[in-house]
Amino acid sequence: MISRVTGAVNPRLTSLPWPGPRYCRRVSSPKSTSGGTRERARATQRARKSGALSSARTSGGKARTSGRASAADAHSSARAGRIGVHSSERTGTRTRSNATSAGRTGVRPRAKSENASSRASRAIEIERRLTSAIPEARCELDHDDAWQLLVATILSAQSTDRTVNRVTPQLFARYPTAAALAAAPQSEIEALIKATGFFRNKAKAIRAASQLLADRYAGVVPRTLEALIELPGVARKTANVVLGTAYRIASGMTVDTHAGRVARRLQLTQHDDPVHVERDLCALFAVSSWIDMGHRFVLHGRYVCLARKPRCSECPLAEVCPASESAAPSGTWTERAERERGRVEARGEAPSTD
């Protein structure tokens, strides 16, 4: 690109796009001596002015910068103050909300630790009192043999023993053996057991279990836990009930909803899973008492240690139960045990003395 003043090529401007006059810079041409002197004088004057202006600008800029810095510092301080206040408020709010939510959960505080020796001693006293209250521990499912007990126990899932006892007489009258029940139509069995709930799945389970018993064991219920839990619809609880009640074989302790609740309230276990509850209970009681103590826990939970409104004032275990809600139980524990015996023998139909 060529300068409009000197006609020389300005190499720094050759790369600029056209039109270029407004992009071009004037290149000073050589001046004469006198002109050069005057030019130097003017340059000096301009330099002085620009220096003063630059100094003023610099001082003004520093002042403005200082002002902005002060304002920024003040803003930062105020913001930091606000953040500090808000953070503390938020922290306090969070703490309060956590405390409130913890109070709403209704979680019981962890009980004081109890050594194994103390728990074992308490278990002995619990067994003594429950044995006095329920001397003849029994399963409340009506049955004549092990096969009927097996079918009734399968039907009792998510149902009550009373309901099952209303259903099974007609069922066993129509199908008296495992082979007969296995050959029965599904729809007929469903109609007979509908009152127990989940009747379709239960009908499939008892038909399949009866079929396997008829084919493999000639209709006789096996006497081992391993063989029983292979039957459809049979888990460990059902196997323990059948083996303990029908054959008096102590394969473990029966743990249903009632027994698990009683064990946790007595702080004999901290588990919810029935298998873990059974393991803890079996470690506390002798093998010879597994069958009867399993039934006693079930019956005690069914008639005294209720889920919603436990009869703590009528409980013979009130003095040894950490979860007892009764400050002054009625009478002695032996009197309460006698009243529980009457309630269990009447299957809950005895009038309450609460």
What pLDDT is recorded for position 108? 38
Instruction: For residue 219, count other CB atoms closer than 10 A to its CB.
Output: 16
Domains of the chain, start order: 138-251 (1.10.340.30)
Mean pLDDT over 343-352 rounds to 76
Tokens 């139509």 appear where? 185
Average model confidence (pLDDT) across the chain:
80
Average pLDDT over residues 7-24: 48
Residue 96, token pair as written in the block: 């309060």
Closest CA to 281 of 302, 299, 305, 256: 256
Instruction: State the Cα angle at 111 between 109 and 116, rounded to 5°.
Output: 160
User: Distances in Å between the alpha carbon of 328 and those of 297, 315, 341?
Assistant: 23, 11, 21
Residue with token string 């096996």: 222
How confident is the model at residue 51, as a pLDDT? Answer: 61
Q: From CA 113, how far away is CA 30, in angstroms rounded?
A: 104
pLDDT of residue 39: 74
User: Mean pLDDT throughout 96-120?
Assistant: 54
Query: For 157-192, what is each residue's pLDDT tens digit?
Result: 999 999 999 999 999 999 999 999 999 999 999 999
Over 60: is that where the pLDDT of 352 sits? Answer: no
Determine contact, residues 45/68, Cβ cutoff 8 Å.
Answer: no
Residues classed as catalytic: 237, 256
- Give the pLDDT score at 50: 63
- 106-121: b (≥16 Cβ within 10 Å) or e: eeeeeeeeeeeeebee
C-alpha 124: how far from its chain's center?
A: 33
CA distance 217 to 296: 31
pLDDT at residue 9, as a whole number: 52
pTM of the predicted protein model: 0.67
Helix axis angle for 274-284 and 290-303, nearest 10°, is 120
